[in-house]
């Protein structure tokens, strides 16, 4: 996890640590005294209070019990679980298969009105063909070392979710790096069909597709990890090893600014379709 991507998680860990410190100080216990009563090394208290180490649920129960306030355990543990949910390794998220993560985001999609999606890896899921999605998910399955193969079911869920593009009061702004158009996933026939589909989807009234050309002077709009902004409420970030959820207003604002800067580099309409058509022609 990169430093920039982990800032929200680390800040939450520090806040939890500061809360533990306050609880200890309120009852007049030193860190050494608490550690002795818990049968911990004194350095463990320091690491928990500074946020360098994330406490376990058992650690929290022990801490509040020693401080004489066991009733605080439930709230602190709920905070801990929120932190753990902000950064979830893909292997953990997908351990029961690929279908469940596809289903899990449906409520978020249904309640969101404004979607801003930036992709530096693959064509955005809402704009994918079934065969392209199948190729992506088969690659994911292989990279994760195999496991439960429910690719067909996961593809069906994603295809069903695309109905949101044509229903309800939703608006979608997609930004795609041009090199994504030229990255062959599956085979050239799969990619050619996908690019043709992308052109068709760009004509939907609810959809804006911007392509960031290769060779453009980047300025402030540097390439970054793929991310989606849901209204101004939540950002989901795709990291190599994990899925990051950011909900802090300050961090959402940073991603919103990054999206605006990237959008300033993108071409739309006829120029965007020209880049897509060029990528199709390059397939021969």
CATH code, residues 3-87: 1.10.260.40
Question: In whole angstroms, what is the distance from residue 72 CA to residue 68 CA?
Answer: 10
Question: In whole angstroms, what is the distance from residue 19 CA to residue 26 CA?
Answer: 11
pLDDT value for 8: 61
For 14, 265, 266, the CA distances from 212, given in Å and listed in that order, are: 37, 6, 4
pLDDT value for 87: 66
**Topology classification of domain 94-282:** Endonuclease; Chain A (3.30.870)
For helices 3-26 and 57-66, the axis angle rounded to 10 degrees is 20
CA 186 remoteness from chain centre: 24
Tallying the residues shown for the chain, one arrives at 284
- Write out the chain's pLDDT in tens, 284 residues: 344 445 667 777 888 899 999 999 999 999 999 999 999 998 999 999 998 888 999 999 999 999 999 999 988 887 786 676 666 655 665 666 788 878 888 898 999 999 999 999 999 999 999 999 999 999 888 876 666 688 999 999 999 999 999 988 999 999 999 999 999 999 999 999 999 999 999 999 999 999 999 999 998 899 999 999 999 988 988 877 667 888 777 788 999 999 999 999 999 999 999 999 999 999 98
Domain residue ranges in the chain: 3-87, 94-282
CA 84 remoteness from chain centre: 14
Helix (H, G, I), strand (E, B) or coil at 220: coil
């Amino acid at each position: 996890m990169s430093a920039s991507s982990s800032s929200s998680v680390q800040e939450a860990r520090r806040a939890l640590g500061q809360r533990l410190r306050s609880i200890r100080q309120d009852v007049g216990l030193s860190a050494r005294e608490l550690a002795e009563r818990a049968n911990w090394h004194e350095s463990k208290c320091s690491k928990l209070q500074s946020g360098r180490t994330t406490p376990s649920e058992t650690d929290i129960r022990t801490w509040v019990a020693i401080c004489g306030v066991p009733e605080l355990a439930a709230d602190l543990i709920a905070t801990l679980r929120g932190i753990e949910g902000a950064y979830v390794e893909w292997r953990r998220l997908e351990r029961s298969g690929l279908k469940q993560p596809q289903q899990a985001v449906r409520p978020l999609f249904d309640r969101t009105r404004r979607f801003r999606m930036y992709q530096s890896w693959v064509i955005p899921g809402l704009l994918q063909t079934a065969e392209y999605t199948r190729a992506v998910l088969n690659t994911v399955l292989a990279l994760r070392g195999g496991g439960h193969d429910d690719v067909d079911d996961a593809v069906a869920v994603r295809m069903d979710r695309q109905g949101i593009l044509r229903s309800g009061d939703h608006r979608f702004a997609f930004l795609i790096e041009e090199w994504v158009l030229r990255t062959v996933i599956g085979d050239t026939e799969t990619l050619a069909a996908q690019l043709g589909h992308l052109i068709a989807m760009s004509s939907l009234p609810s959809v804006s597709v911007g392509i960031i050309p290769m060779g453009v002077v980047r300025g402030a709009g540097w390439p970054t990890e793929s991310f989606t902004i849901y209204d101004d409420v939540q950002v989901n970030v795709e990291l190599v090893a994990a899925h990051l959820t950011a909900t802090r207003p300050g961090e959402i604002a940073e991603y919103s600014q990054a999206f605006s800067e990237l959008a300033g580099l993108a071409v739309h309409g006829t120029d965007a379709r020209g880049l897509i058509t060029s990528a199709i022609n390059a397939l021969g």
